[in-house]
Amino acid sequence: KQEVTQIPAALSVPEGENLVLNCSFTDSAIYNLQWFRQDPGKGLTSLLLIQSSQREQTSGRLNASLDKSSGRSTLYIAASQPGDSATYLCAVKSYGNNRLAFGKGNQVVVIP
């Protein structure tokens, strides 16, 4: 059974600092990995999707890396802004399984 862990569970940073969010998974036989953003009481917004054959994906200030062999992914958010305050969820899709396995999330607060 795939287990996904996200560290740290919560963090606060001053505006302008870079954010580094970590995700680890136990089974390296993944199909893809996806990072989502969730605002309080809201649904999920997809940020980046990395296929198993890829090492990283970038979108604006966001960069996600994937090291499948070690079971890790990192989401970098450059020059954080107060609007980046949210919970970031990592989800893994495994081969032969259409389900997504989610971590508990990294709750981020960017202090103006």
Contact flag: residue 4 with other proteins (CB under 8 A) = yes
CB of 16 to other proteins, least distance (A): 27
CB 70 within 8 A of CB 59: no
* Contact pick of 92, 100, 108, 110 for other proteins (by CB under 8 A): 100
- Going residue by residue from 48 to 67, which x/- string records binding to other proteins, judged by CB under 8 A? -x-x----------------
- Going residue by residue from 8 to 47, which x/- string records binding to other proteins, judged by CB under 8 A? ------------------------x-x-x----xxxxxx-
* Contact pick of 24, 25, 103, 108 for other proteins (by CB under 8 A): 103
* Contact pick of 58, 104, 109, 111 for other proteins (by CB under 8 A): 104
Contact flag: residue 99 with other proteins (CB under 8 A) = yes
Please report the DSSP string for the chain in residue order.
---EEEE-SEEEEETT--EEEEEEES---EEEEEEEEE-TT--EEEEEEEETT-SEEEETTEEEEEETTTTEEEEEESS--GGG-EEEEEEEEETT--PEEE---EEEEEE-
